[in-house]
Structure 1
Amino acid sequence: MKNYFYGIDVLRFLAAFLVAGFHLGYLNDIADFTPVWLVTWFGWIGVEVFFVISGFVIANSANGKTPAQFLRGRALRLYPAVWFCATLTLIVRSFSETDLLPAYLRSIMLIPKGPWIDDVYWTLAVEVGFYCLVFLLLLARMFSQLSRAALALTLFSSISLIILATKYGPVGLVERGNVLLARHGCFFALGAWIWISTTRRLLPWERIALTVAIVACIGEIYLRGREFLPAGKMEWMLSPVVVWFAAVACIFIFSRPGKPISEAASRRIRTLGLMTYPLYLVHHIVGLTIERHFLFAGKWFALVVSVLSAIAISWIVCALWEPSIKRLMRRDWNFTHTS
């Protein structure tokens, strides 16, 4: 049975909450939420936290799996929620837009090239890129060489970020290379390094590679931060770096053995972890739509209602929808395997 890291699930939910705050309380034209910009403008850092967590969690879940088992586990985790959330987003957008079917189909099939039914799905293309890398390692029976793959990913992403920062080289390829992990590979590599450190002591060259990955991640955060930083607020740039650093420190701490918790607390925390993915998928377009419809009661009330609604929908997905769909998928797979 795989190790389960409770603290990381809590951290994952908080990261999703940060992203929701960013879209609903900063990056929108619905209302002026300037008073809370100090804590909402850097909510995009939740995505960078997600990527580090994915590097750690996927390495842990892939360890000891066959390629088929790995793919099955990823399908069970990703598809049921995206089918529900993409359909809900399609319904919401259909009231004011047309010609949404191609984007919807790309979304429910997790095609790594957009446009998708919601712009936030771009991160799934990045995730799929890392899944492909891990799958290839499993297929080649080289998962034990994960450290070398993490090194290659660290170097590739670092060079890509240098190209992006200096504007010298194939900048367009780096900017469009989500599935190739050109820009974000350093985050997944860092997560993989942290996981490897839970299985054995890192070698000197691995510790150096981990340090390079951290520096590359900070560089990417700086480049991303410049895109969203409010005008004249350069002093705010430190905030996302500090929050991300704190999150990475928590991942490292939570990955170590801790005190056992009660079964009730375990269930609640696992539910939070399962809610993270649908919360991320529905908070943007669905959340903004809810926020817009409650503006009549005041912008702060609308903001709170939109966030709470997104959380409620995510609970419905993980507690009611996903278990039923997963049972059907498992039953179909078992039938196929025994036919």
Structure 2
Amino acid sequence: MSDTPHSPTDKRPPGRVNEIDLLRFVASMLVLLFHYAFRGMAADNMAAMNYPWLAPVFKYGFLGVQLFFLISGFVILMSAAGGSVRGFIVSRVIRLYPAFWAACTITYLVCIAWGGPTYAASFKQYLINMTMISDYLHTPAIDGVYWSLSLEIRFYVLITILLMIRQIHRAEFFLIAWLVATIALEWHPIGKLRFLLISDYATFFIGGATIYLVWSKGLSIQRALMILCSLILGIIQSIKGLAEFGHYYHTEMDPVITGLLVTSFYAILLLVALRKTGALAGMRWITAGALTYPLYLLHQNIGYIIFNHAHGHLNIHLIFWGTIALMLAGAWLIHNLIEQKAAPVLKRVLNRTLDTFSQLTPSKG
């Protein structure tokens, strides 16, 4: 995470937001525990076991994705502020692709070796998945968790457009317009606009980006109202699908718990922005933050395949916690052996390619 320029009147020092790394890890563990403790056995016959001791709590872990999007709004606007189109695109590519290529390849190999018919994957499907846009190429994802990446990419495109038209300094105005449009589309849906504006989850990107503005420029009445409207819409959208969710997964979901969890996400991130997290702000969570993305990409289908092969042969506690430990170890290896080594190489290749392209492109005037 890069340092972020502050306004001349802002005396707060710029720097890494340590708590963001911890929040990322919490979000990834919420999703992992949702999958392992509850979702795998609840529907679709994805896993031969769940973990009933944790299932009543972590059936709400699907909300970890909403927390991810909230954090993404904060971090991506931070990365783009004061930057260039080229710098933003290069930073996103080197951040996303090396770990994704590694996790997608490992998942594919595990699926063809041990996945059986439930987790079958073709080589063509694998190659298309490696683009990270398989969703737009009408090809099934090798792992279901990839669905959220397509939404992230759409958010990046919107930020890139702001950079291209040199309006990133007016991000607050565009966030207000995006929020108003999202609210309007909630009651008067227009399919193509809902797709382009990511209306099902936009409120979390907007909320996180607005909270970043609080972090970088301070709290104002306008920003407070934006965060409140974003939160209310986030609660409404999260609760709206609970009945269908409960029916599909054969469980009872409490809208009060759901609303409180969503509210807590906003409250915690706002405390970070207001520098109200005390000693936690001074703690370094770099390793936890580094594990988050590869852990998210790696855990689901491989974990289920392990469950399906080990259940009935090993102690359930050993399977559950051992698989989590294995996924954390795998994420650590991907980060250290792939991400850290590939990122600088990929950055050089991208910059050289862009330099060559710019030299071949006729200049205007």
Letter in 1 for 2:125: A
Cα shift at 1:232: 6.2
Instruction: Give the counterpart of 1:213 among 221, 227, 230.
Output: 230
Structure 2 gaps, min length 5: 4-14, 42-47, 357-365
Aligned in 2, Cα 1:290/1:135: closer, same or farther, shift over 3 Å? same
Is the partner of 1:297 in helix, strand or coil? coil
Cα shift at 1:107: 2.6
Contact 1:120–1:281, Cα closer than 8 Å, also in 2? yes
Q: 2:180 matched to which residue of 1?
A: 155
Q: 2:18 matched to which residue of 1?
A: 6
Letter in 2 for 1:115: P
**For structure 1, which segment, 136-145 or 24-33, has the greater mean C-alpha deviation from structure 2 after superposition?**
24-33
Q: Could you tell me how far apart the structure 2 residues matched to 1:216 and 1:338 are?
A: 43
Is the partner of 2:307 in helix, strand or coil? helix
Contact 2:32–2:299, Cα closer than 8 Å, also in 1? yes
Q: 1:129 matched to which residue of 2?
A: 154
Once the two structures are superposed, the pairs formed by residues 1-339 of structure 1 within 5 Å of their partners are 1-2=2-3, 3-29=15-41, 30-95=48-113, 96-97=116-117, 100-111=122-133, 112-113=135-136, 114-162=139-187, 169-170=189-190, 177=195, 180-229=197-246, 231=250, 233-234=252-253, 236-257=254-275, 266=284, 269-295=285-311, 296-336=313-353
Q: Could you tell me how far apart the structure 1 residues matched to 2:147 and 2:75 are?
A: 20
Letter in 2 for 1:101: F
Cα shift at 1:46: 0.3
Aligned in 2, Cα 1:77/1:159: closer, same or farther, shift over 3 Å? same
Q: Percent identity?
A: 26
Q: Could you tell me how far apart the structure 1 residues matched to 2:255 and 2:125 are?
A: 34
Q: Deviations over 1:77-106 (max 9, x none)?
A: 000000000011111221325552343233
Structure 1 gaps, min length 5: 164-168
Cα shift at 1:21: 0.6
Cα shift at 1:173: 5.7
Letter in 2 for 1:106: I
Is the partner of 1:249 in helix, strand or coil? helix
Cα shift at 1:221: 1.1
Cα shift at 1:334: 5.0
Q: Could you tell me how far apart the structure 1 residues matched to 2:131 and 2:351 are?
A: 22
Aligned in 2, Cα 1:262/1:48: closer, same or farther, shift over 3 Å? closer
Contact 2:90–2:350, Cα closer than 8 Å, also in 1? no
Q: Could you tell me how far apart the structure 2 residues matched to 1:160 and 1:338 are?
A: 41
**For structure 1, which segment, 107-116 or 77-86, has the greater mean C-alpha deviation from structure 2 after superposition?**
107-116
Cα shift at 1:203: 4.7
Q: Could you tell me how far apart the structure 1 residues matched to 2:121 and 2:110 are?
A: 13
Contact 1:52–1:188, Cα closer than 8 Å, also in 2? yes
Q: Could you tell me how far apart the structure 1 residues matched to 2:344 and 2:217 are?
A: 36
Q: Could you tell me how far apart the structure 1 residues matched to 2:183 and 2:63 are?
A: 18
Is the partner of 1:278 in helix, strand or coil? helix
Contact 1:288–1:306, Cα closer than 8 Å, also in 2? no
Q: Could you tell me how far apart the structure 1 residues matched to 2:111 and 2:193 are?
A: 31
Letter in 1 for 2:75: V
Cα shift at 1:335: 4.3
Q: Could you tell me how far apart the structure 2 residues matched to 1:160 and 1:324 are?
A: 43
Q: How many residues align?
A: 327
Letter in 2 for 1:45: L
Task: Give the TM-score, by structure 2 length.
Answer: 0.82
Q: Could you tell me how far apart the structure 2 residues matched to 1:19 and 1:232 are?
A: 17
